[in-house]
């Protein structure tokens, strides 16, 4: 019960359909299991409602909320809805992100793909933080965790994805520095190769490869046990950062990557 009596917003609490569990759904379930009341935000309400059912069936407290977090009005509305429902906001977990979708090198990427990637991966986190931070400042407490990527510090041929995630790192540190005096902590998690539906089913569809082949090739790239991480690995890192176990930790960029980032530099 490390999050007993806490109220958490998980943005991106649904998931892409697939055989495994996504980062946002796993984090939502674990937060509820550890005692938090959880607001489940997703653009696809039906997917957030699936997460809500899982939590309620296990005895937890949660409610689903539909929002497109690239729109400021929706971010304002979700912050208000959480306070109206639960009275406070202790944790904001920003999990929304996309990859692929026309990304590539600087000379090949389209303006449309660049704008979409920056809007979804970076602007959305700015907007949710903008509208949640006033609540946390008034409380003089709060924790924000942003999901970035090891790609933010590595060399990849996906310029928009890399830049958007590097922006998440900078935004995280900016928020941490500006809000420490209010008792608010802000950190980022940098996932490596993960066996989640968005990654595996997404790559399999994009490249026309069998799912099992995508998993095998990605597993081979991971130093620790030649096995990708799962949504639960991200969830447990998020639980640690949101809990009082991490009460003296802010502005940190935490790789959860099976040792992939050891190769950087």
pLDDT digits (tens, 9 = 90+) for 38-97: 999 999 999 999 999 999 999 999 999 999 999 999 999 999 999 999 999 999 999 999
3-state secondary structure of 8: strand
**Cβ atoms within 10 Å of 191's Cβ, excluding its own:** 27
Q: Which of 214, 227, 216, 235 is nearest to 257 (CA)?
A: 227
Catalytic sites, residue numbers: 161
- HSE, side-chain direction, 13 A CA sphere, residue 209: 16
pTM: 0.95
Q: Which region among 38-42, 44-48, 142-146, 202-206 has the lowest average model confidence (pLDDT)?
A: 202-206
> Can you name the residues that pair with 190 across neighbouring β-strands?
255
Predicted confidence at residue 265, as pLDDT, reads 61
CATH topology of domain 7-193+230-252: Rossmann fold (3.40.50)
Strands laid side by side in the 91-94 sheet = 61-66, 37-42, 7-11, 91-94, 142-147, 184-191, 253-256
Q: Which two tokens stand for residue 218?
A: 């990605």
Q: Would you say residue 174 has pLDDT above 80?
A: yes
Q: How far is residue 243 CA from its own chain's centroid?
A: 16
> Can you name the residues that pair with 145 across neighbouring β-strands?
93, 187
């Amino acid at each position: 019960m490390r999050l007993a009596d806490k109220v958490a917003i998980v943005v991106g609490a649904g998931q892409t359909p697939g055989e495994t569990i996504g980062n946002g759904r796993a984090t939502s379930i674990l937060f509820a299991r550890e005692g938090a009341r959880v607001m489940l935000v997703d653009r696809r309400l039906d997917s957030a409602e699936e997460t809500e059912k899982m939590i309620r069936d296990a005895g937890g407290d949660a409610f689903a909320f539909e929002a497109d977090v690239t729109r400021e009005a929706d971010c304002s509305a979700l912050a208000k809805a959480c306070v109206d429902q639960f009275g406070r906001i202790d944790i904001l977990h920003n999990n929304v992100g996309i990859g692929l979708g026309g990304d590539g090198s600087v000379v090949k990427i389209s303006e449309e793909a660049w704008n979409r990637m920056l809007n979804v991966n970076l602007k959305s986190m700015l907007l949710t933080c903008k509208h949640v931070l006033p609540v946390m400042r008034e409380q003089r407490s709060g924790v924000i965790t942003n999901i970035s990527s090891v790609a933010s510090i590595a060399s990849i041929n996906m310029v928009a994805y890399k830049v958007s995630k590097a922006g998440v790192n900078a935004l995280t540190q900016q928020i941490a520095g500006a809000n420490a005096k209010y008792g608010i902590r802000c950190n980022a998690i940098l996932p490596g190769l993960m066996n989640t539906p968005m990654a595996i089913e997404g790559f399999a569809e994009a490249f026309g490869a069998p799912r099992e082949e995508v998993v095998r090739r990605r597993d081979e790239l991971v130093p620790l046990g030649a096995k990708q991480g799962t949504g639960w690995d991200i969830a447990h890192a998020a639980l640690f950062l949101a809990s009082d176990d991490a009460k003296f930790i802010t502005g940190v960029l935490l790789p959860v990557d099976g040792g992939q980032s050891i190769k950087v530099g």
